[in-house]
Amino acid sequence: MKSALELAMERANASLGDQKIQLTAQQKEAIEEVKRTYQAKLAEQEIALQAKLNDMDLQADPRHRAEAHRQVEQELNRLRETYNAERDAKIQAIRDDQSA
């Protein structure tokens, strides 16, 4: 079974024709490491925010719980966007580095 990276590379290569994208083994490993790192960062934040939600559920006035949940979800969405942007920028930098 092909990874998402391999499938994306095939699609990109098909659209480029003769100008195929070739990643070295080092670049592929570096990309996978970046993905693992950002997946771990996001998981860590999700755990922390879930703990925050649990604390709020115990302490917050029931009328304010929905608002608290909405705020935590918004915070999590902002973190996802930030981490995904950082991850994508690092991956693109690895892809652009032809000396690797």
Please give the full DSSP string across 11-76, using - where no structure is assigned: HHHHHHTTS-----HHHHHHHHHHHHHHHHHHHHHHHHHHHHHHHHHHHS-HHHHHHHHHHHHHHH
pLDDT of residue 15: 63
Residue 11 lies in a domain: no
Residue 12 lies in a domain: no
Give the range of the structural domain holding residue 85, as residue numbers without chain letter.
Answer: 24-96
Name the residue with higher pLDDT: 37 or 8: 37
pTM: 0.69
Residue 17 lies in a domain: no
pLDDT of residue 80: 94
Digit-coded pLDDT (tens) for 10-46: 776 666 655 667 889 999 999 999 999 999 999 999 9
Digit-coded pLDDT (tens) for 51-75: 988 887 777 677 788 888 888 899 9
Domain count along the chain: 1
Residue 39, CB-side half-sphere exposure with 13 Å CA sphere: 6
Residue 90 lies in a domain: yes
Residue 4 lies in a domain: no
